[in-house]
Amino acid sequence: MQEYGDLIVVLAAAVAAFVLSMLTAPLVIRLMARIKVGQPILKYLEGHTKKSGTPTMGGWIFILPTAVVSLLFGYGRLSLIAVLVTVGYGIVGFSDDFIKVRYKRNEGLKPYQKIIAQLGIALIAAFFAYYNEWIGDSVRIPFFTVEWNMGLWYIPFAVFLFLAVTNSVNLTDGLDGLAASSGVASVFALLVAGILYYFEAAAFGMTGLQNELFSLCIFLSALAASLLGFLWHNANPARIFMGDTGALALGGAIAAGAIFMRNPLLLAFVCIVHVWSSLSVILQVIYFKLTKKRIFKMSPFHHHLELSGYSENRISVIYAVLTVVTGAVGTIGVILSLTM
């Protein structure tokens, strides 16, 4: 059957992406070390001072293999735009990282510059989704067979999700292996959902949609596998950081994966730790403005855990396990929505 042959291609794409990322990593690490592209370290994180000078911009280790494998193994409009979104956000992050390391400061692009660039990419992706025949303005609801027809409200909704996810992943990228390990779990959950929707399209004879979802599954499998290759070098003690280059690209890729399979609400499950990173910052700021006291020792929350005595490895494992669990719940929601 074609469907099972396609699954073999999806698996082959994952293997190819992992191998390519493992081959790319030493080159990127050596290049960044040679041109002295070291990550500036926040002064109030005393335990991180030993990391000063560790090469950054390591996001290219998974961005490039994902792009190459996606376009070679399963080209489609959904995978093409997903790749462009990923690379686009990667370039925004690269610009931010470059300014930081060039001028040896913790601030890169000005906030308004970064948000304008992110907003531009999000708008392009949102309009593409809205006018695409296989996506449109209807949103699937996990656990239920009903769909939510949003009309023109779909565009600002999709834009918000792109901005929220990219910046939330960026906030999560604060410890060795943290964003990468939880990111692998998030992308794998999306891949499983994509495969389920692929088989649904095949069952109803929707060949066009089936082919597009196949290309999206190739993209997600390549991303998950290349992220594993990056994690090999990013686990504590990290040899390279993903930087904003990788964090923004990863967030954009995750958002694109969920939105393009018409289940953006799945992000609430697969991005639970990323959402919590943002919420912890928001709560900390609001509470401090109101009371001049802090809820957490430091935000985002992973720094609170770190200051409470948790090791970086333990925090990364906790975040990854939570993502696996909530991602599984979201996947169950997808299955129920297809069978009820």
Domain ranges of the chain: 2-339
Mean pLDDT, the chain, integer: 92
Q: What is the pLDDT of residue 51?
A: 66
40 and 81 Cβ atoms separated by less than 8 Å: no
Quick: pLDDT tens for 9-59: 999 999 999 999 999 999 999 988 887 666 655 555 565 666 667 888 999
Quick: pLDDT tens for 178-208: 999 999 999 999 999 999 999 999 999 999 9
In what helix (H) or strand (E) does residue 139 lie, and over which residues does it extend? Answer: strand 138-140
Distance CA 76, CA 118 (A): 24
Q: What is the pLDDT of residue 45?
A: 59
pLDDT at 234 over 90: yes
Residue type, 138: S
Distance CA 323, CA 183 (A): 8
Q: What is the pLDDT of residue 40?
A: 59
pLDDT at 140 over 90: yes
Q: What is the pLDDT of residue 43?
A: 54
137 and 154 Cβ atoms separated by less than 8 Å: yes
Residue burial 200-221, b: 16+ Cβ < 10 Å; e: rest? bbbeeeeeebbbbbbbbbbbbb
SS3 of residue 340 by DSSP: coil
pLDDT at 1 over 80: no
pLDDT at 162 over 90: yes
Q: What is the pLDDT of residue 186?
A: 97
Enter the DSSP assignment of 38: B
Quick: pLDDT tens for 47-96: 566 666 788 899 999 999 999 999 999 889 999 999 999 999 999 999 99
Q: How confident is the model at residue 8 (pLDDT cuts 50, 70, 90)?
A: very high
Q: Cα(first)–Cα(last) distance of the chain, in Å?
A: 26
Q: What is the pLDDT of residue 33?
A: 81
Enter the DSSP assignment of 55: B
Question: Average of pLDDT values for 313-332?
Answer: 96
